[in-house]
């Protein structure tokens, strides 16, 4: 199965500066997020002394709004212009994160307050990511979507490489709550850059609009499509596994293995470096193997990565296996994400893209929230060793679902003809 570069509501020519500003906004936001990836676990695990269950709740909090708002956000993203959604969602996330250090400095921050702020942050993120993933096809031709997504992923991976090390240093120097201000400011810059993009976004005015019907249309395309359906289910299972995985990882590294904020940041930086390498070759591998097979090969690498993490816990082998595992995880993510997003954007009409992206991302984040809660509960009940074995098994199930989809195994996105 292949996807030609035909008109599915694709945009006409737009200034190159539009994609450049979009790319810059994504890059700056990614660096801020990478800093928070270190600062937030340190704040929760060390400064607020959260229990394993509370760690799971905090990790789940920013994902819960996807379950509540995801379908609605997708429908309205297809109704509204996407650039203003990007701007206001970034401003909302900046305010939500910025409140955390303010509460800490005043001595008022507690776990429940952090959960509330992350719920608010996640609510803005639902709309922001629905618009982000649907806005890109307005800036580049659909046949170039894998390449464009790979560039964004390369930048994100570079941020994940430098950001955690920077985040670890900032946490050590200023403290975890103050380090979160970096991410808050990055969202404000993101809003300014996206607000300056020049792009035509005509919206069709339909007096017969019906929210429930529009939601059903998006769900039907996402899950009845012969390629997107199995891929979406596989991805949901992957997010459930990942939610468990990174909940237990923070507890394993920061408590059982005694990582400092800086060494934990270096661990995440290894994953970011590998993701950068994977994203660099993502489009080339997608062209060589086919878009679908490239996704399948990458997805099969995750059980191997988390087998090494489990071995670290079982054998008390020290941090070496952990660094190797996160490198494999990052490499697979770098290859997979650009091809998956490019495939989804290429086969979905523009009029449905907001709903399809939001529906799939909503289910993904709901699965991640459930995984985080399950991970925290499992560590408390059976310990990190057996929880990591379960993580490896669930990642393997996600890979198996993808392997067993013939349309996905045959999917290719045709390159430009010129």
Q: What percent of the residues of the chain are helix, what percent strand, and what percent coil, each to the nearest 5?
A: 85, 0, 15
Dump the DSSP string for 347-369: HS-HHHHHHHHHHHHHHHHHHHH
Name the band, by pLDDT with cuts 50, 70 and 90, for residue 13.
very low
Three-class DSSP category at 412: strand
Average pLDDT over every residue of 300-321: 84
- pLDDT interval class at 237 (50, 70, 90): very high
Look at 231 and 9; give whichever has higher pLDDT: 231
- How far is Cα 122 from Cα 96, in angstroms, rounded to an integer? 9
Q: Of 342, 318, 363, which is closest to residue 414 (Cα–Cα)? A: 342
**What is the average pLDDT across 221-248?**
91
CA dist 295 → 272, 283, 339, 417 (Å)? 18, 11, 7, 24
Task: Encode pLDDT of 250-308 as tens digits.
Answer: 888 877 777 877 788 778 778 878 888 888 888 888 888 888 899 999 999 999 999 99
DSSP string, 171-208: HHHH-HHHHHHHHHHHHHHHHHHHHT----------TT
Question: What's the start-to-end Cα distance of the chain, in Å?
Answer: 21
In whole numbers, what is the pLDDT of the chain averaged over residues? 82
Distance of CA 177 to the CA centre of its chain: 22
- Of 73-77, 128-132, 381-385, which has the strongest mean pLDDT? 381-385
Give CA–CA dist 187/77, Å, rounded: 20
Torsion of CA 409, 410, 416, 418, to 10 degrees: 140
Instruction: Please tell me the distance from the alpha carbon of residue 195 to that of residue 86, in angstroms, as a whole number.
Output: 8
């Amino acid at each position: 199965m292949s996807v030609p570069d035909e008109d599915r509501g694709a945009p006409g020519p737009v200034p190159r500066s539009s994609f450049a500003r979009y790319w810059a906004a994504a890059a700056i936001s990614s660096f801020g997020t990478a800093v928070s990836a270190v600062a937030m676990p340190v704040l929760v695990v060390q400064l607020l002394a959260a229990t394993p269950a509370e760690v799971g709740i905090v990790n789940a909090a920013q994902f819960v709004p996807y379950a509540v708002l995801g379908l609605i956000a997708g429908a309205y993203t297809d109704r509204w212009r996407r650039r203003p959604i990007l701007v206001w969602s970034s401003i909302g996330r900046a305010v939500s994160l910025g409140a955390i250090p303010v509460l800490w400095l005043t001595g008022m921050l507690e776990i429940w307050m952090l959960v509330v702020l992350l719920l608010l942050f996640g609510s803005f993120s639902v709309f922001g990511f629905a618009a982000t993933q649907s806005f890109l096809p307005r800036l580049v031709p659909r046949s170039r979507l894998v390449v464009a997504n790979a560039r964004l992923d390369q930048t994100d991976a570079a941020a994940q490489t430098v950001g955690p090390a920077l985040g670890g240093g900032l946490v050590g120097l200023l403290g975890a709550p103050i380090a979160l201000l970096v991410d808050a400011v990055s969202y404000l810059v993101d809003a300014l850059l996206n607000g300056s993009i020049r792009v035509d976004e005509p919206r069709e005015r339909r007096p017969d609009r019906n929210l429930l019907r529009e939601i059903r249309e998006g769900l039907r395309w996402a899950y009845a499509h012969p390629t997107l359906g199995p891929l979406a289910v596989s991805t949901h299972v992957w997010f459930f596994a990942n939610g468990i995985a990174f909940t237990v990882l923070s507890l394993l590294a920061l408590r059982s293995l005694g990582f400092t904020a800086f060494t934990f940041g270096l661990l995440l930086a290894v994953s970011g470096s590998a993701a950068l390498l994977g994203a660099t070759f993502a489009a080339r591998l997608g062209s060589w193997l086919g878009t679908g097979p490239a996704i399948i090969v990458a997805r099969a690498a995750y059980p191997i990565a988390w087998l090494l993490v489990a071995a670290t816990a079982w054998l008390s082998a020290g941090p070496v296996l952990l660094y190797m595992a996160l490198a494999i995880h990052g490499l697979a993510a770098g290859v997979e994400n650009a091809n998956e997003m490019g495939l989804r954007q290429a086969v979905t009409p523009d009029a449905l893209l907001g709903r399809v992206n939001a529906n799939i991302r909503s289910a993904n984040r709901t699965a991640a929230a459930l995984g985080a809660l399950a991970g925290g509960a499992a560590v408390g009940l059976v310990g990190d060793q057996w929880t990591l074995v379960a993580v490896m098994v669930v990642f393997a199930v996600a890979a198996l679902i993808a392997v067993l989809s013939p349309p996905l195994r045959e999917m290719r996105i045709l390159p430009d003809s010129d």
